[in-house]
Structure formats: C-alpha cells, structure tokens
C-alpha cells in the first residue's frame, strides 16, 4: 500500500481561486504531515519524462575515463560526475552505492557571474553525445516551471500572496541529478546502502523513478514507508531550506535508498531559490517567533554541501 498522498495539480492551473486554494490545501497538509507527496497531472509530457531516462542510460554507459573527465571534483559549482562510492549522504554510515551526474542552471563561460566566480554560477560539463545537452536542458526547464507552479500552491496554503516566491525564482540555484544504483546481491548491505539516510537541502525536490523499488521515507512516528513508483507521477519532497523559511511549518523528512536487486535509475531535480534571496522565516510566518536567523540561499546551501563532502578534505 502506498501511504504517501498523490495530489493532482490540475486545480493549481485553474482560473478559479477556490480550486487553486483547494489543491494548495492538499499540498499544505502533506507538507505539514510528512513532507513527501506525489504529484500527478503535473503537465510535463510523458515523452520528456521517459526521454530523460534514456539520456541517463547513455551517460552512465560512457567509459569510466570519459566520465572522470567530467568529475565533480573539477567543478567548484557542484556540477559533473560523481563516481560509485564517492559520496556519503549520511557521513556516519559509509559510502553510497550509486553514481550520479549533476547539471546546474546553465551559464555561458563569459557570463558576468561566472567570470567573477560567484558560488553556484558555473558552467556545466556536457557528454559528447548528440542531442544530449538539448534534451537535458529541456527536462531542466520543464522541472523548473513545475517547481514554480508548486511554489504558487505553497504560497496560497501559507496565506501569502500567491506569487510570494516567484520573485525569488528568477534564475534559481537548481540541480538536475541523474542517478544510477547498480544491482546489489550482498544480503548484508546496509538498509541505506544506495543512498544514506538524509534530508534534502533546498526548497523542493522533484523526483522521477523508474519502477525499481528502493526509496523509503521516515514517518514522524519513525516507521520507514516505501515510496513506490507511481506511473505518471513525480515524488516531491520538502527540503531543509523551505522548512527553515516556513519556521518549521513544512517538514523536511529523512529518506534513504536501499541498494536495489536490479539496476535502478532515478532523476532528481533539486530546486532552491535565487542565490541572493534572503530566507527569513519572519517573511513567511510574521506572527511567530522566528526559530532561525535570515540567511541567503547561497550561503545556506554552501554550508550544507560542504558538510556532505567533508570526508574528502585532506
Ligand atoms: O534515488 C532516489 O530515489 C532518491 C535519491 C535522493 O534522495 C537524493 O538524491 O537526494
Ligand atoms: Fe534525497
């Protein structure tokens, strides 16, 4: 049984405010209760969703040497290839049995932010596969639009102007991350051997899965719930930055990935906001005592990523 709510986003596109509000309330309930939900009727064409898995397969099939040329270790901006066992989402547990490839908001080499070395404003690595870059950027753009729409729902639910988040979503920090989990036959593998137990860092994550089981979500009561593949739907979850911004109204929930029996692919889109946007709980919850100091999105995210990669530093 699937215990996480499946929410149709059709109502969010309605010209009728009551309908938008009703969908927003469903989203809000899920964000307060468990911080995870599925979205259906999301508006991203099925071909685009399927196409991104083809891109991922093509990429991970490249020779190791070619993937290493695009290593994340060569990017100061969190882009590129993460090899098997190179990352620990839960540093106490051990290495994750997965490989990954990150694409950030695409900037040209001569963009002023890139030239001055602004954090998270870097160039992407592109594999030498025809049509790959265009396909990946197409999927990226679709996810960004969907993320903006979901934020309209959050604003309505939170009693804010419907476009509260939109000025902060002009050119947000965002990462499209393709993931491949190799098959695992080791019966003694950790429960979270695919991806260590963690919370996501940003505002929301929009995740496409391929039908091979693996993702699990920890409920507030401490039980691990399976988050099975739901055809045509994305799994969405709240990240730490939005939890902070909402003064803990919305929950960023721990989750993990078991090492799968069969090869598993997933594609995550991590959406934060614009790097200089100030994340201040007083703006979202003006009547509550703020639990957190204001911080820019960029500073917040940099702190979290540095902690994840801590074990790498000499
Ligand atoms: O692969 C998955 O299903 C989830 C991955 C995940 O949680 C992450 O990369 O943050
Ligand atoms: Fe995650």
- What is the Å distance from ligand 1's center to 214 Cα? 9
Q: Measuring from atom 3 of ligand 1, which residue has the nearest CA? A: 215
Q: Which residues pair with 37 in a beta bridge?
A: 236
Record the pTM: 0.96
- Give the H or E element holding residue 215: strand 215-218
Total of domains in the chain: 1
pLDDT at 311 over 90: no
Pocket test for ligand 1, best of 36, 208, 214, 215 (most atoms within 8 A of CB): 215
Residues 6+ apart with CB under 8 A from 141: none
pLDDT in tens, 156-197: 999 999 999 999 999 999 999 999 999 988 888 888 899 999
Residues 36, 217 contacting (CB under 8 angstroms) = yes
How long a stretch of residues is the chain? 314
255 C-alpha to ligand 2 centroid (Å) = 6
Q: Taking residues 46-55, what's their average pLDDT?
A: 97
C-alpha pair distances (Å), 35 with each of 5, 243, 250, 258: 10, 9, 6, 20
- Taking the CA of 98 as reference, the closest ligand is 1
CA of 253 to the centre of ligand 1 (A): 12
Domain that holds residue 54: 6-312
The CATH number of whichever domain residue 254 belongs to comes to 2.60.120.330
Whether residue 1 lies inside any domain: the answer is: no
Average pLDDT of every residue of the chain: 94
The residue-averaged pLDDT of 137-155 equals 98
Which atom of ligand 1 is the closest one to the Cα of 256? 7
> Which residues form ligand 1's pocket by a CB distance below 6 Å?
179, 195, 200, 207, 209, 214-215, 255, 257, 266, 268
251, part of any domain: yes
Using one digit for the tens of pLDDT, what is the confidence trace for 122-136? 999 999 999 999 999
Does residue 25 fall inside a structural domain?
Answer: yes
CA distances from 256 to 73, 159, 240, 253 (A): 24, 32, 16, 10
Per-residue pLDDT, 314: 35
Q: What is the reported pLDDT for 90?
A: 85
- Whether the per-residue pLDDT at 231 is higher than 80: the answer is yes
How far apart are the CA of 173 and the centre of ligand 1, in A?
18
Rounded CA separation 96/93 (Å): 9
Number of CB atoms found within 10 A of residue 85's CB: 12
125 neighbors 75 (Cβ within 8 angstroms): yes
User: Within 13 Å, how many C-alpha atoms sit on residue 184's CB side?
Assistant: 24
| Residue 80 located in a structural domain | yes
Domain assignment present for residue 70? The answer is: yes
CA distance 89 to 160: 33
> Does the pLDDT at position 274 exceed 70?
yes
């Amino acid at each position: 049984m699937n215990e996480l709510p499946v929410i149709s986003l059709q109502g969010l596109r309605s010209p009728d405010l009551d309908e938008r509000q009703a969908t927003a309330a469903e989203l809000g309930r899920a964000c307060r209760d468990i911080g995870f939900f599925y979205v259906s009727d999301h508006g991203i064409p099925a071909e685009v969703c399927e196409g991104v898995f083809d891109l991922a397969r093509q990429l991970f099939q490249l020779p190791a040497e070619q993937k290493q040329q695009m290593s994340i270790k060569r990017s100061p901006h969190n882009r590129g290839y993460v090899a098997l066992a190179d990352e620990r989402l839960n540093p106490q547990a051990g290495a994750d049995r997965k490989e990954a490839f990150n694409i950030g908001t695409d900037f040209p080499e001569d963009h002023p932010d890139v030239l001055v070395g602004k954090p998270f404003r870097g160039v992407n690595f592109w594999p030498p596969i025809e049509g790959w870059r265009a396909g990946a950027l197409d999927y990226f753009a679709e996810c960004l639009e969907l993320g903006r729409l979901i934020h309209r729902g959050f604003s309505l639910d939170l009693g804010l102007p419907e476009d509260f988040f939109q000025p902060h979503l002009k050119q947000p920090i965002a990462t499209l991350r393709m993931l491949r989990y190799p098959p695992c036959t080791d019966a003694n593998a950790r429960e979270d051997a695919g991806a260590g137990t963690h919370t996501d860092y940003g505002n929301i994550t929009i995740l496409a899965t391929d039908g091979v089981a693996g993702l699990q979500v920890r409920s507030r009561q401490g039980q691990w719930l399976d988050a099975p593949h739901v055809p045509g739907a994305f799994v969405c979850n709240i990240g730490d930055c939005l939890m902070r911004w909402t003064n803990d109204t919305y929950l960023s929930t721990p989750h993990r990935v078991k090492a799968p029996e069969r090869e598993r692919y997933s594609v995550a889109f991590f959406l934060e906001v614009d790097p200089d946007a100030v994340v201040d709980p007083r703006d979202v919850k003006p009547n509550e005592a703020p639990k957190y100091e204001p911080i820019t999105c960029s500073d917040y995210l940099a702190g979290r990523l540095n902690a994840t990669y801590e074990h790498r530093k000499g």
